[in-house]
Structure 1
Amino acid sequence: MADAAVRAAVPSDAPEIARIQTTTWRTAYAEVLPRTALDRLDDAEIERAWRSTLTEGPATVLVATEGEWLVGFCAGGPAPDAEAAAANGRAPADAATLALVSSLLVEPRWGRRGHGGRLLAALARQLADSGSTRGIVWVPESDTASMSFFRGVGWNPDGTVRTLDAGGTLVRELRLTGSLELRTESK
């Protein structure tokens, strides 16, 4: 494997981040999301949204590289109140230090090479350094690969569920949570 690294994303990464997002969604979520919703993904609109995030915030965005290739990305930051609420709708005691991982995607052809783990570990360090103590992420219940990945670092469902309407198909998501001191496998 060529040199693998993680670095802060810059605005010129927006086209590749958008491409990775649409490619990954169309591949990894083909069984989860309806074909019509995936066909409606607009690369230019997604690129504009990422460029805005990279220039105006509020999320921290990191990219994974392998050699000269950008192969994945991760975004996160302080959890908005609506995302932080406990299953009963109340704010948890640690709401002020709760971080949301809003996106973690590695293009499928670059999968299973450690890029996702490196991205999440780097983001967790940055979030912890800025005062966050715990992370949350929403994962489609049927996305067994992502569920397994997050459980592998010590994040587990916290009992909070939401259902999203994805173009007429209901997608049930579970909220997973865990320490920003990620559990790693020892080799």
Structure 2
Amino acid sequence: MASWRGAFTGLVPQDFLDAMDPAAIAASWADSIAAGRSRLYVAALGEQVIGYAGVGPERDATAPPGTGELYALFVHPSYWGTGAGRALADAACADLRNAGFVDVWLWVLEANTRARRFYSAYGFTETGDRTHSSLNNLPEIRLAVRL
């Protein structure tokens, strides 16, 4: 949860962050993985989890064939700038490429300039698509990269 709070403090309402339930989030990922809808990569130092990335097929039914999605990429704030995020993005994109995907899409909060800089440095570009987050109704933009 520290990775979420670090990424979103000041960007989303504090009551939203306070209400986040780690057990419910873990159960949701477990269900998605068990159903074959997603795969999860974890960065760890010893026994300590410092980040994770989740990937799978693009959920947007209008996406072209061969489009995967980076559902989530979070790193504990203590490890920002260490390469952990890059390693997770590399593993996630390699997974999608090996599964036959040729493009990766993701949604990022428009106000999350730190994440947008990270994804831009990785090669993601804005597609022009915009929406509002289903979790908190904040503006999001779609980014894409060709594998």
User: What TM-score comes out, normalization by structure 2 length?
Assistant: 0.91
1:131 matches 2:84: no
How much does 1:69 deviate? 2.2
How much does 1:155 deviate? 0.5
CA contact (8 A) 1:33 1:166 kept: no
Question: In structure 1, what residue type is equivalent to 2:73?
Answer: L
Question: 1:176: which partner in 2?
Answer: 143
How much does 1:165 deviate? 5.8
Structure 1 stretch displaced more, 66-75 or 137-146:
66-75
| 1:15-58 deviation per Cα after TM superposition (whole angstroms, max 9, x unaligned) | xxxxxxx2222222111111111111112211211222333331
* Whole-angstrom CA distance in 2 between matches of 1:42 and 1:137: 23
Give 4+ residue runs of structure 1 displaced > 6 Å after superposition.
none
* Whole-angstrom CA distance in 2 between matches of 1:33 and 1:155: 23
Question: 2:19: which partner in 1?
Answer: 40
Question: 1:101: which partner in 2?
Answer: 70
User: What TM-score comes out, normalization by structure 1 length?
Assistant: 0.73
Question: In structure 2, what residue type is equivalent to 1:124?
Answer: C
Q: Which of the numbers 98, 102, 111 marks the counterpart of 2:80?
A: 111
Question: 1:10: which partner in 2?
Answer: none
Question: 1:27: which partner in 2?
Answer: 6
* Whole-angstrom CA distance in 2 between matches of 1:34 and 1:165: 14
Question: 2:111: which partner in 1?
Answer: 142
How much does 1:166 deviate? 4.8
CA contact (8 A) 2:3 2:51 kept: no
Give the root-mean-square deviation of aligned CA atoms: 1.6
| 1:35-86 deviation per Cα after TM superposition (whole angstroms, max 9, x unaligned) | 111111112211211222333331011111223322110011111234xx3x
1:71 matches 2:40: no
Q: Provide structure 2 residue ranges, at least 5 long, that are not aligned to the other structure.
A: none
Question: In structure 1, what residue type is equivalent to 2:58?
Answer: A
Aligned length, in residue pairs? 147
Amino-acid identity (%): 28
* Whole-angstrom CA distance in 2 between matches of 1:27 and 1:154: 23
